[in-house]
């Protein structure tokens, strides 16, 4: 059935996401990585600039100010 193909594809992609350097990645990070990867090329993908803005808006203010300083030329 079509639904099993999607599940098999997800497991196949997930297996390739963790290499020997990422074996201790948290489950939350892994789920986030899989979700973002599945959105690429779809209407859910806002583009890298919008995604970076969303991430920065959720970061603590001390981290935001240090990244903002890096952007100034």
CA atoms in the 13 A half-sphere facing the CB of 23: 2
CA angle 5, 17, 71 (to 5 degrees): 125
This model's pTM is above 0.85: no
pLDDT given for residue 64 in this prediction? 46
Q: Is the separation of the CB atoms in 21 and 37 below 8 Å?
A: no
- Using pLDDT thresholds of 50, 70 and 90, give the confidence band for residue 29: confident
- Using pLDDT thresholds of 50, 70 and 90, give the confidence band for residue 65: very low
- The 10s digit of each residue's pLDDT in 2-19 is 556 566 766 666 666 555
Where would I find the H helices in 1-73? 2-17, 27-39, 48-57, 61-71
């Amino acid at each position: 059935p079509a639904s099993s193909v999607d599940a098999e594809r997800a497991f196949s992609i997930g297996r390739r996401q963790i290499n020997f350097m990422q074996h201790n990645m948290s489950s939350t990070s892994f789920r986030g990585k899989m979700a973002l990867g599945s959105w690429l090329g779809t209407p859910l993908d806002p583009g890298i600039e919008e995604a970076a803005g969303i991430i920065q808006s959720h970061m603590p203010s001390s981290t935001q100010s240090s990244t903002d300083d890096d952007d100034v030329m």
